[in-house]
């Protein structure tokens, strides 16, 4: 089968479940004033998007660009999943191209699932593998674009997975007073993962400095795996 965006779109549309379109639009908050305002859904579920991605893992970047520019959420997700499949089998030049391609297309990585299924597998992995300057994460964390800020913190998940947590804590510190609930959840999630996979003492050192000031949602996510007694201590402000 031809490795083109149009071919991938045709295959993807074979998995449309029309009744799911409205459900997905509601779930991803697409009404006026909501974070996903104006996004459109075909009605394709993630397992089917993944199956299509496997068939088109050799899709060139110029064709993936067409998917990312699609008005349809599932087609943008398809493009990103293809990128995550291409990356591990690529050589250094190709990985560098994928990294830069991702950063040049953040405008289209515009919902939390698009970020969460791709950022750490491309941005985080590239920065870790090739020991690149991680200041790009600080730049993204200071962005006015909520999705770039989420990319910044979610990218550090790869570092956590490899046992490094300092960069996650640095980005969390930049985002600690962010006003958006989706950033609160993402930062809290990464703090929880720091404690779970990396170093609970470092997580608690961070929390003891900020837990009385950080958004409540962020704190609840961060302490989710703690004992009931310890969670109550943090929530009551008595740690």
Tell me what the pLDDT averaged over the chain comes to.
96
Residue 145 has pLDDT above 80, yes or no: yes
Coil, helix or strand for 231?
Answer: helix
Report the percent of the chain where pLDDT is more than 90.
97
* pLDDT tens string 147-201: 999 999 999 999 999 999 999 999 999 999 999 999 999 999 999 999 999 989 9
Residue 212 has pLDDT above 80, yes or no: yes
Residue 239 has pLDDT above 90, yes or no: no
Q: pTM above the 0.85 mark?
A: yes
User: pLDDT category, 91, cuts 50, 70, 90?
Assistant: very high
């Amino acid at each position: 089968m031809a490795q083109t965006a149009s071919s991938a779109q045709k295959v993807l549309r074979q998995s449309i479940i029309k009744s799911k379109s409205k459900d997905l639009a509601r779930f991803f908050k697409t009404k006026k004033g909501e974070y996903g305002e104006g996004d459109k859904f075909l009605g394709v579920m993630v397992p089917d998007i993944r199956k299509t991605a496997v068939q088109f893992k050799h899709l060139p970047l110029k064709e993936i660009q067409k998917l990312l520019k699609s008005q349809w959420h599932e087609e943008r997700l398809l493009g990103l999943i293809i990128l995550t499949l291409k990356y591990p089998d690529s050589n250094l030049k190709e990985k560098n191209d994928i990294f830069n391609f991702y950063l040049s297309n953040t405008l289209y990585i515009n919902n939390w699932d698009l970020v969460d299924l791709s950022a750490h597998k491309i941005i985080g992995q590239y920065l870790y593998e090739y020991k690149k300057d991680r200041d790009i994460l600080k730049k993204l964390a200071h962005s006015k674009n909520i999705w770039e800020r989420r990319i910044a913190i979610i990218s550090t998940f790869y570092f956590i997975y490899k046992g490094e947590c300092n960069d996650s804590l640095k980005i969390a510190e930049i985002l600690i007073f962010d006003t958006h609930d989706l950033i609160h959840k993402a930062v809290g999630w990464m703090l929880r993962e720091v404690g779970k996979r990396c170093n609970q003492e470092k997580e608690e050192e961070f929390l003891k400095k900020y837990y009385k000031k950080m958004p409540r949602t962020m704190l609840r996510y961060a302490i989710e795996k703690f004992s009931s007694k310890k969670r109550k201590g943090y929530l009551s402000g008595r740690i």
